[in-house]
Structure 1
Amino acid sequence: MMTVIEDPDHVGSFLNVSELKIPFSDTVKYCILAVSVILLLVALCILAWQIFRCFSHSYSTYTQDSMNSDLLYLEEKPSTEKYYSAPGMKVENQSTQSHRLSRCLSQTWFSSSETSMSDVNFEEQKTNKKVLGSLRFSVFFDRLESRLVICVLQAEGLSDSGEATSMQPFVKVRLMKAGLEGTGKRSLKKERGEESPSTLWAVLQEWDTRIVKGSDKALFGDEFSFILQETKNILHHLKLRMEVRDFDKFSRQTLLGEVNIPLKHLDISFPLVLQEDLQAPQKDLVGEVLLSLKFLPTSQRLEVGLLKIRTAFPNICSYAALYAKISVQCNQSKLKPQKTSAVVRSAVTVFNEVLIFLLPDFAVDQCKILVSVYETCTDAKSSRSLIGHLCVGKDRNLEDEHWTLMVRSIRQPIAKWHALLI
């Protein structure tokens, strides 16, 4: 017979645990219970919302799939009754099948193509629709030293008061010289419906002022000078083009407005201070490009030939060279750009190079060709400078003549002059 001896210490500890109570009042206990119930209700609401979203998404997917299948096989019976070669085998016309597929893809195709053609922009900056503000500057020509001095003083009233703190304005100054007249091959005024030729301009020098942060009344005070080689009637062929831009480190610069001042209308024998309102940006004709286009539909290959570039030669750098960067954009996909070799610049620079692009499975009407021409100096390691842009393609509003001739003349190269603008 075994005798169980109980330890009085353990018995006392069990009694203490049983008699242990939470030292909270009833109000605190009810508050904790209420918070727990509220959290439970929130969790149940979230679960119900997720279940509702899951069922609604599956229903919409099923509806879309059923609609597409109905569109695919809407005309299947009348179109396939004529094509039977053996029991259990059906021969269907390929054109009928492509027509049914196009009906399913027409809505998404045209919406995506419309947005892609509107997004094509071969410029380096965006332009505001509403032009605000004015620019104050001074111009002086020192005849003894044949030196033209330009001082950018202030830009004010660039935006509304609510947007002033986020602006970082600066001014890009271009000194341009009038060159040859357009020969009629491809001039800017002919594109606008005018008969008179347009003047070719050459950029002699360009400068950038410092960036003023967080103000629409920017004080610059930057001074630039340029020594003119010819002094006789040289001012009659010069003009100043000053563009006020909003600097953005992570995206394209916004063009706020510009000021164009021909120097032949000014008496700048002494420092002349002017304040001009900003105007809407306009393009200047800086050259003409002879392009050759050929399309091979079987291999989906587009051959872009850069034959000649005609510019107003400024005779500043004897080692100046030109090269072009050509890219093709189809729908919303942009192909890898290609560069031509650098050729020594002259009045008419001859390239005779052909670049080949393999197009994706898109209609050729949804493509555009973007050409950018740059200038570099071969005798020194200097940064490139942009000469101008051009764009060849077809969209819903404007049909380019060269592109139409290329589509009609398949497998045949078509050459045509295009305006080079900046």
Structure 2
Amino acid sequence: MAEITNLRPPYDVSPVVAGLVGATVLVVSVSVSVFVWTCCRRRASKKQQTPPYKFIHMLKGVSIYPEPLGRGAGQRKAERAGPEPPAPDYGPGPTSPESGTPESGESEEPGPSPGSPSPSPPAPLGTLSVAVDYNFLKKALVVTIQEARGLPATDPQTQAADPYVKMTVLPDRRHRVKTRVLRRTRNPVFDETFTFYGLPASQLQDLALHFLVLSFDRFSRDDVIGEVVLPLAGLDPAAAKVQLTRDISQRSFQKCVGRGELQVSLSYQPAAQRMTVVVLKARHLPKMDITGLSGNPYVKVNVYYDRKRVAKKKTHVKKCTLNPVFNESFVYDVPAELLADVSIEFLVLDFDRATKNQAVGRAILGAHSGTAAGADHWRRVCSCPREPVAMWHSLSEY
């Protein structure tokens, strides 16, 4: 009789254990799939986001940024296909004879009469050559400061200069960059590239480049040779690199007859012997920027006792406005017997990250007030305690 073979498995698996193993495998596979999907989504969203606004410095064609800034394939084909398009027309420069209208804020003066001697032309300050390019893939503005020619001598002994260039992107002035100093030359060759990332092409029409040419001085303040303002309104982002050469003009500060007004509120508490000063707002401030754009005003509040400053505070900076609203209060301890010798100075300044802050004007209230409005405001505050008194004051020259 034939032997019957046992076809049963060598061991039995419980259905409960098999279910637990299957559920564990399912949970692990789902978790891995969700993790991979999340990583892919994050990577895709990072590619679509606008990169932060920053700049990269290149010296002599060597980049300190690990990733090279290259053109797209479409731009390279367009460059190989035809010659480089002509440079956009930025209009005449500040010292160009083609500019027939005066700068903003300057009054047009009549020309000299035939019998009077003609005024001597300003001394030439040289030229500055730069290159401007835009990269669509990186959303980056690439500015190369190439060279300067014919700079004036700032050292009478060596008849040379130690030039360098500061550059700022207007009107935000979020970055200030500068080249290295080249010693004893009037024709410096910088060849330094600055790359500003995170600038969409739609914003280029509202920007301008400000170049300030200086000469380094070891023992005193650096000498300012001149400046060049280059608006980007005519720049075509799709075009290739644009080479530009502009005359360096004298650095000019816009002068304005009216310096605006400042509204402040004062109140005195006799019981606590405290003076509350509230800087409310300002209006009709002059455009202190050389490009005619709005300024960045703020107010410094100085308290003087017998012409000696005993306290100082300042408000926050209001960006790009000529009619700022501050609404900031400051409290000072002022004894009642010293009110006759106390004065408060409100100094309005224009914040500038690239250069020194410019004083717009000031108003003085109290013992040393030079205006009738300032004296009247102080008299009303002292005669009406615990009552806030707000008034507008015209700013005078600092």
TM class by smaller structure: 0.3 to 0.5
Structure 1 length-normalised TM: 0.42
Q: Radius of gyration: which is bigger?
A: 1
TM norm structure 2: 0.44
Instruction: Pick the structure with more helix per residue.
Output: 1
